[in-house]
Amino acid sequence: MRIGIDVGGTKIAAGLVSESGRVITRKKVKTEVRKGYPSVRDQIHRLVRALFSEAGNRAGNIERIGIACAGQIDQRTHTILFSPNLNWSNVPLKHDIEAATGIETFVENDVNAGTYGEWKFGFHGESSNVVGIFIGTGIGGGLILNGRLFRGSLGVGGELGHITLNPHGYLCNCGNRGCFEAYCGGSYIVSRVKERLARGYRGKLWDIVEGRVDGLHTGHIEEAYLSGDDLCTEVWREVVEYLGAALQSIANLLNPELIIFSGGVVAGAKRLIDDARLVMERRAMQASIAGLKIERARLGDDATLLGAAFVMDE
Ligand SMILES: [Zn+2]
């Protein structure tokens, strides 16, 4: 058995996982981000202890612990260099959990883990060149190349969300201009629409959200676009065009067999992926996209947890 843990900015999900990739038991707690690293580390340790007892109270029954979290992880020193969600820099999570439990522990970027988990268990390892694209508030990426997770030289590669699509474009949270994330990340899209609502825009969108701007999400914006709202047509067409352009760039660069989409923006959208695919087909070199499959993720939240538990075998 193994333990997989997904440390997010709002919750920590942990599971006891069989060698065949079945989640036997799940546990979940709210992340105490504000209390800082030592507190979250202790939460993780307590979850591990709780799962130990599920595994028959013998640490020897647990082969490995895999932990996924957002951010940049130096795979040479296994230190989390920077995690904006968790407000961590240079934290030795692998070392601390190993010291506390005596079990081999591995720390992986969450989107890398999610992509690996989907590929291995959601898609049963089919295709050996696979791209995972996670679109939530921001955008993360994971790359499986020639049947292995690709991390780059330090371990921080695969940042698809921060490829530049327009050098003079919108400002991104990373400091660059015109990133894929700045165009297609959920929080950026919503804030562009909210700005216009604050300046007095009304229209079909206003009716759809019944004036409750606080709860506005990208699903509302797509819905308003589909019903002809002027502002949402302008905003959503831009999102589709840039997402399609990103897919085209990725396809021409890597010639993948499979692209797996996940994340809240994708889950809440009806036509986004199909519409972006048409843009990609119009722009890409035809050989680059011949046979390319574009699919939605199949495992939900379990992908990251399972990926974390198994990706260390890479
Ligand atoms: Zn960026």
Per-residue pLDDT of 88-122, as tens digits, reads: 999 999 999 999 999 999 999 999 999 999 999 99
The yes-or-no verdict on residue 242 having pLDDT over 70 is yes
For residue 16, how far is its CA from the centre of ligand 1 (angstroms)?
35
pLDDT the model gives residue 59: 58
Are 7 and 86 a contacting pair, CB within 8 Å? yes
For residue 2, how far is its CA from the centre of ligand 1 (angstroms)?
34
Spatial separation of the C-alpha atoms in residues 29 and 304, rounded to whole Å: 16
Q: Which residue has the higher pLDDT, 59 or 141?
A: 141
Those residues whose beta carbon sits under 5 angstroms from the ion ligand 1 are 162, 172, 174, 176, 179
How far out from the chain centre does Cα 96 lie? 25
All domains in the chain, ordered by first residue: 2-109 (3.30.420.40), 124-296 (3.30.420.40)
- The share of the chain scoring above pLDDT 70, in percent, equals 98
Spatial separation of the C-alpha atoms in residues 226 and 232, rounded to whole Å: 9
pLDDT the model gives residue 76: 86
For residue 58, how far is its CA from the centre of ligand 1 (angstroms)?
44
The yes-or-no verdict on residue 55 having pLDDT over 90 is no
For residue 138, how far is its CA from the centre of ligand 1 (angstroms)?
9
For residue 100, how far is its CA from the centre of ligand 1 (angstroms)?
36
- Cβ count within 10 A of residue 50: 14
For residue 261, how far is its CA from the centre of ligand 1 (angstroms)?
19
Q: What is the pLDDT of residues 124-177, one digit of tens each?
A: 999 999 999 999 999 999 999 999 999 999 999 999 999 999 999 999 999 999
Q: Which residue has the higher pLDDT, 293 or 312?
A: 293
For residue 174, how far is its CA from the centre of ligand 1 (angstroms)?
4
For residue 239, how far is its CA from the centre of ligand 1 (angstroms)?
16
Average pLDDT over the chain reads 95
pLDDT the model gives residue 78: 86
Query: Which residue, among 76, 146, 157, has the nearest Cα to 111 in the 3D structure?
Result: 157
For residue 217, how far is its CA from the centre of ligand 1 (angstroms)?
21
The average pLDDT across 225-249 equals 98
Residue 12 pairs in a beta bridge with 7, 29
Query: Which residue, among 78, 53, 55, has the nearest Cα to 67 in the 3D structure?
Result: 78
Q: Indicate the Cα dihedral angle 165, 167, 170, 172, nearest 10°.
A: 80
The yes-or-no verdict on residue 239 having pLDDT over 80 is yes
